[in-house]
Structures are given as C-alpha cells and as structure tokens.
Amino acid sequence: MSKVKRTPQKERGTYKYFDANGKVVDELKPAERGVSELDIYELHQRDDREIYYTMKAHHGIRTNKEKATIRAWVPVFIEQFKLDHNGIEPTKDAVEDAVMKEFPMVEVFSFNAVDSFSHAEDKSDLLFKTYLEEQSKKLTDPRVEELLELMEKLTDNQRWLIQKVFYEGVSQTDVAAELGITKQAVQNRLNKIYARLRNLFDK
C-alpha cells in the first residue's frame, strides 16, 4: 500500500508495511533478517520521494527551476498574445491555461521515487521496464529548450537581470536599489529583454 503522508521521525527506527486497510502486516527492524539501519533509512527516503511526487502530480507542486522557467516564459507569451490579438492582453485565466498547456503536470506515479536507487538490484523486472518506459516519455518541451538557448544570446547584464528576477526571486525594487536606478528602469530593461526574446523566437 502506498503511503500518503510522511512517517514521523520518532517512528523511523523501523519500517512498517501496511495492507490496503492500513493494518501493519510486517515490520523491519535493524539487525534482524539481515536488515541494516541504512536499509530502513533508504526505505523511508524512498517513501518521502514518492509522497512528494504524488503531491506534485495532484496538488501542483513545482520545483524552483520549473517555476523560474515558467516565470521567464510568461512575459514572452503575453507579448505574443498581444501581437496576435490586436494589443489585447490575456486574462489571468488565459495565462494560467497557457502555462498548464505548455508545462503540463502529468501523473508521475511512484517511478520517480526510485530514481536514485540501483535498478540492477531490483528484483521486479516489470517495475524496471515500466520505469524505463516512463523515463523515455519525459521529453523536454522544445520551446523551453529553445528559450534557454536563446537566453544565451542575451548580454551579460541581461542574463544577470533574468537570473536575479526569475531564478533568485529578487524583487524589482531590490534590484533597482542594488543598481542605483528606479524600479521603472528595471521594468524597462525587462521589457527590452522580452522583446529581444520574442524577436529571436520569431526568427
């Protein structure tokens, strides 16, 4: 039975297996049946990863890298939308829908949870085969790859600004203070970057 919440730290000295009704059917203890403390630790770590990826699939959890990529993509989408719709800006819902379309959050099941384990030791051929199939389907969005490549064509100062605002999450106000300019000047620089990326996309 898959776990849906993390095991409390005080209960991690052993590892329990539960049936579909939540009843303990087996319990692994250190120094018994060839089980080590490291084995138990790794089992709990695997559960933690499985819970994380399950929550990610069902509740919209994204990594900081994913969030930064999306934040960099949204302004480009908005500018392109305005070009395609006579200057009309997209609604918040339209932007959110576009994000979900470009960066879908698909069901990942539990195969990600065992990503760091040695599958050569896995006795389940079916699990390993399914895991490999699942990994082969993880195709990176070509537009994301293109965006990252195009960002290399920006100036050092432009890349620095993108790094600060989108990847480090520094506010425009704080960036302005660091550079000794106004917040509007920072926004103007970002607008130039968006325009530059849009032009590169169109080539």
Indicate if 154 and 124 belong to the same structural domain: no
Q: What's the DSSP call for residue 135?
A: H
Same domain membership, residue 156 and residue 99: yes
Both tokens of 101, joined, read: 């379309």
Read off the pLDDT band of 100 (50, 70, 90). Answer: confident
If DSSP codes are grouped into helix, strand and coil, which group holds residue 28?
Answer: strand
pLDDT digits (tens, 9 = 90+) for 24-64: 888 889 898 888 888 888 888 787 777 666 655 554 556 67
- Same domain, yes or no, for 99 and 56? no
Where a domain ends, among 140, 158, 187?
140
Residues 2 and 92 occupy one common structural domain: no
In single-letter form, the type of residue at position 195 comes to A
Note whether 16 and 36 are same-domain residues. Answer: yes
pLDDT tens for 113-171 read: 444 444 333 434 444 444 444 444 444 445 556 666 777 788 888 888 887 887 677 88
What is the pLDDT at residue 140?
Answer: 46
Q: Are 41 and 85 in the same domain?
A: no
- Domain region containing 33: 1-61+104-140
Report residue 61 as tokens: 């959890």
Q: What is the mean pLDDT of residues 89-103?
A: 83
114/157 same-domain check: no
Co-location of 53 and 27 in the same domain: yes
Signed CA dihedral, 66, 72, 78, 80: sign only: negative
Domain's final residue, options 112, 140, 168: 140
The reply to whether 96 and 155 lie within a common domain is yes
pLDDT for 61: 57
Judgement on whether residues 44 and 117 belong to the same structural domain of the protein: yes
Q: Measure Cα distances from 46 to 14, 110, 111, 132 in Å.
A: 14, 9, 10, 18
Angle between helices 142-151 and 64-84 (to 10 degrees): 90
| Tokens linked to 134 | 């699942």
148 & 79 share domain: yes
Split into its structural domains, the chain has a count of 2
d(CA 161, CA 192): 12
- Asked whether residue 147 falls in the same domain as residue 54, the answer is no
Q: How far, rounded to the nearest angstrom, does the alpha carbon of residue 73 sit from its chain's CA centroid?
A: 14
**Structural domain ending residue among the three candidates 85, 114, 140:** 140
